């Protein structure tokens, strides 16, 4: 079994900038979540893929559950300048589904699977990929599929770090896909920004899981028409102030800007703060902490930053009382 290669990718959660970051040049702060998926890849006689999400094997013949992985493999073949049929065949096994009892956590599993598949293939074919090429290849794969997200999840997962992501013009990349080959597209400047944020703050970063699954694609379609220039401007200012406050370790500004972006989201659409997410946020009342929904909302997870050990405990207990589970906890 010496020739089995293993690679991992984590999850992500938005801290600020949701919905605004769907517009080019807008920024979001996105946190890596070290709940990992693992891929094992080894030589085989034919391409075979398996995921613990579905628990059966597939090849490259059309299969609804495996389309994302299959399309990622096809993009990889194009990246090597080959047909899929001419690739050295492999068995690819993916474990670590980001869900419990069939309910997803909502921490970016589809983005993570895409980046994971690319990382596994790169390792298998001994190709060294920069984080940016990894990000571009993953984005290319999803844009080609018609994904309607900002690709910020992919940036965070490819970097596996806390980042400030500034969005590129996905429509422009989509038109490139019609006219240029993959190599040429990768060589272009897409105009995005990915900057690692080093917080200088001592606090607990807490993730509360509502156990209600929300579908980002549907939420985006529901909410995006409500986005106004004013929302974009206000969010951008708040996101940049939050980044500075995190880096400078200015607690009151961090709390104020979390509240600020949370309020902007609440005003954007009533669909974002589901009852559970309202409870998740309300649990921070009276504590030295700030909480908000994360990502598209409507369910999935919310986040909190808490500045006192005792308050973290209280917050977690309040969440538990409301059926919100502490999914992940980290000292920033
Ligand atoms: O629900 P999530 O964690 O996939 O986050 C979606 C964030 C949006 O800004 C609403 C969409 C996006 O892809 O940026
Ligand atoms: Mg979500």
Indicate which atom in ligand 1 lies nearest the CA of residue 220.
10
Q: How high is the pLDDT of residue 55?
A: 86
110 CA distance to ligand 2 middle (Å): 11
Q: What's 190-202 look like in SS3? A: CCCEEEECCCCCC
Q: What's 244-282 look like in SS3? A: HHHHHCCHHHHHHHHHHHHHHHHHHCCCCCCHHHHHHHH
Confirm or reject: Cβ of 209 under 6 Å from ligand 1.
Answer: no
pTM of the model: 0.96
216 CA distance to ligand 2 middle (Å): 5
Confirm or reject: Cβ of 29 under 6 Å from ligand 1.
Answer: no
% of the chain exceeding 90 in pLDDT: 97
Average pLDDT over residues 201-217: 95
Average pLDDT over residues 32-48: 97
Indicate which atom in ligand 1 lies nearest the CA of residue 297.
1
pLDDT of residue 143 exceeding 80, the answer is yes
Residue 298 CB burial class (10 angstroms; 0-12, 13-18, ≥19): buried
Average pLDDT over residues 126-151: 97
Confirm or reject: Cβ of 297 under 6 Å from ligand 1.
Answer: no
Indicate which atom in ligand 1 lies nearest the CA of residue 20.
9
pLDDT of residue 28 exceeding 90, the answer is yes
pLDDT digits (tens, 9 = 90+) for 221-237: 999 999 999 999 999 99
pLDDT band with cut points at 50, 70 and 90 for residue 97: confident
pLDDT of residue 2 exceeding 80, the answer is no
| Mean of pLDDT over the chain | 96
Q: Which of 288, 332, 282 is nearest to 310 (CA)?
A: 288
What's the rounded Cα separation, in Å, for the pair 76 and 133? 12
pLDDT of residue 58 exceeding 70, the answer is yes
Indicate which atom in ligand 1 lies nearest the CA of residue 223.
10
pLDDT of residue 50 exceeding 90, the answer is yes
Q: How high is the pLDDT of residue 322?
A: 97
pLDDT of residue 188 exceeding 80, the answer is yes
pLDDT of residue 261 exceeding 70, the answer is yes
Average pLDDT over residues 277-291: 98
Confirm or reject: Cβ of 149 under 6 Å from ligand 1.
Answer: yes
Average pLDDT over residues 130-145: 97
């Amino acid at each position: 079994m010496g020739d089995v290669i293993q690679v991992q990718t984590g999850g992500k959660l938005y801290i600020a900038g949701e919905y605004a970051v769907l517009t080019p040049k807008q920024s979001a702060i996105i946190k890596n979540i070290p709940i990992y998926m693992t891929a094992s890849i080894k030589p085989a006689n034919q391409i075979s893929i398996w995921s613990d999400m579905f628990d059966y094997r597939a090849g490259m013949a059309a299969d609804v559950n495996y389309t994302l992985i299959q399309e990622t493999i096809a993009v990889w073949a194009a990246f090597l300048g080959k047909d899929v049929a001419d690739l050295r065949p492999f068995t690819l096994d993916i474990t670590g589904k980001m869900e419990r009892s069939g309910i997803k956590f909502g921490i970016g599993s589809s983005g993570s699977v895409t980046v994971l598949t690319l990382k596994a293939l790169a390792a298998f074919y001994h190709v060294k990929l920069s984080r940016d090429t990894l990000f571009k290849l993953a984005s290319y794969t999803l844009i080609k599929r018609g994904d309607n997200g900002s690709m910020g999840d992919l940036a965070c997962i490819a970097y596996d770090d806390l980042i400030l992501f500034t969005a590129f013009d996905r429509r422009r990349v989509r038109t490139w896909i019609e006219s240029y080959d993959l190599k040429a597209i990768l060589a272009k400047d897409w105009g995005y920004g990915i900057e690692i944020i080093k917080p200088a703050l001592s606090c607990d970063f807490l993730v509360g899981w509502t156990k209600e699954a929300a579908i980002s694609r549907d939420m985006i379609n529901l909410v995006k028409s409500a986005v106004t220039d004013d929302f974009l401007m206000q969010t951008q200012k708040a996101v940049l102030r939050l980044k500075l406050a995190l880096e400078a370790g200015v607690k009151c500004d961090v709390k104020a800007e979390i509240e600020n972006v949370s309020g902007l989201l609440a005003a954007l659409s009533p669909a974002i703060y589901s009852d559970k997410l309202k409870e998740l946020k309300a649990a921070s009342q009276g504590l030295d902490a700030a909480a908000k929904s994360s990502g598209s909302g409507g369910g999935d997870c919310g986040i909190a930053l808490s500045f006192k050990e005792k308050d973290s405990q209280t917050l977690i207990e309040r969440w538990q009382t409301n059926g919100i589970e502490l999914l992940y906890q980290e000292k920033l």
